[in-house]
Amino acid sequence: MISTVVGSYPSKKQSPNNFKDSVLNYFGLYDEYKIGIENAVSKQIKAGIDIISDGQVRDDMIKLCAKNIIGYEFEGNMSKITSKLRAKNLKNSENDLKYGLKVMNEELSELNISKKEKKRKGIKGIITGPNTMIHSSTIENNSYKAKEDAILDLAEILKLEAKSLEKAGAKMIQVDEPFLSTGIVNMEIAKESINTISKSITIPFSIHICGVIYDIMPDLLEFNVDILDFEFAGNNTNINIFNDYDDDLNKIGLGCIDTKNTKIETIREIVNIIKKGLDILGSKNLLIDPDCGMRTLPENIAFSKLKVMVESIKSLESYN
């Protein structure tokens, strides 16, 4: 079974503390978050994760994506759309992914693991989905008549971002759409916008949705995605999809670690969740990951949770 993460890892930053970095900082060339990417990548590899992330250490999921786009403005934590959306600097995400890939390869060169295992390793490109981006923002200056128009416009921009991440070496692309489980999103528009992005790339495409997704499964099964990624540890409703939609499921990202609390799960707890997916779909159709991003957890807890998740997967190697 392949292991992965949803995306975010506890962030770290470092002010310049030597002459060279101070000079770089003077010219606006110093990056205080590089250490956060290095830490996130190194810890995920050390925990034994196969498909890692760059840690999404720079900002929350909305700002991280919005700063690549013209038309977004921020007032405190509130985001607003003040003009027609256009691509600004898609290189931001691409550069972080490339740096993550470089750190990952350095870490892997020091690890004593088989070629086969190394081949499974990679880094995923993560994009905050257009429905979540638009529904979490206000629309001002009559820049769009309806949120739906803004969502479809944004999907065209995010399509370019997905392509640039694929070109930069991503092993897969994941779009995060927590708002899809809230009931306020037009699911037809959601499908159209997600398909716009997924059709533009050739690597595996996953959609991550937090919360209870049981009620929207009929809609989600119509989406053109390779992997549906949900939480199964922190809620006990989602697990019913394995009984009620067993014939319709393709590949599932199986969240089996509760990312909302600091308690480290036992192997038995994790194995119990994974087995429910294994029995229905088999190991080739599962990606094992935590329920959600780990940004808000203390770092030692995040690392321990990932480690016990990998140990749980290993303990299932001979399970059929």
Residue 7 Cβ vs Zn ion, minimum distance, rounded to whole Å:
8
Nearest distance, CB of residue 176 and Zn ion, angstroms:
7
Amino acid of residue 277? G
Q: Count CA atoms within 13 Å of residue 211 on its CB side.
A: 13
Instruction: Compute the distance between CA of residue 229 and CA of residue 290 in angstroms, rounded to an integer.
Output: 10
Task: Provide the residue count of the chain.
Answer: 320
Shorter beta-carbon distance to Zn ion: residue 154 or 210: 210
Segment lying near Zn ion (by CB under 5 A), choices 109-117, 208-216, 221-229, 307-315: 208-216
Q: Residue count at the site for Zn ion (CB under 5 A)?
A: 2
Pick 123 or 292: Cβ nearer Zn ion:
292
Which range binds Zn ion by CB under 5 A, 27-35, 58-66, 204-212, 218-226? 204-212
Task: Give the nearer residue to Zn ion in terms of CB position, either 1 or 210.
Answer: 210
Distance CA 94, CA 163 (A): 10
Residue 232 CB, nearest approach to Zn ion (Å) = 12
Task: Choose, by CB under 5 A, the member of 51, 168, 210, 256 that binds Zn ion.
Answer: 210
Q: What is the distance, to the nearest Å, from the Cα of residue 19 to the centroid of all Cα atoms in its chain?
A: 36
Select 141 or 261, whichever has its Cβ closest to Zn ion.
261
- Kind plus residue range of the DSSP H or E element containing 229: strand 227-231
- Binding status of residue 292 toward Zn ion by CB under 5 A: yes
Least distance to Zn ion, CB of residue 117, Å: 27
Residues 6+ apart with CB under 8 A from 208: 6, 7, 174, 175, 176, 177, 178, 229, 230, 253, 292
Residues that bind Zn ion in the complex, under the rule CB under 5 A: 210, 292
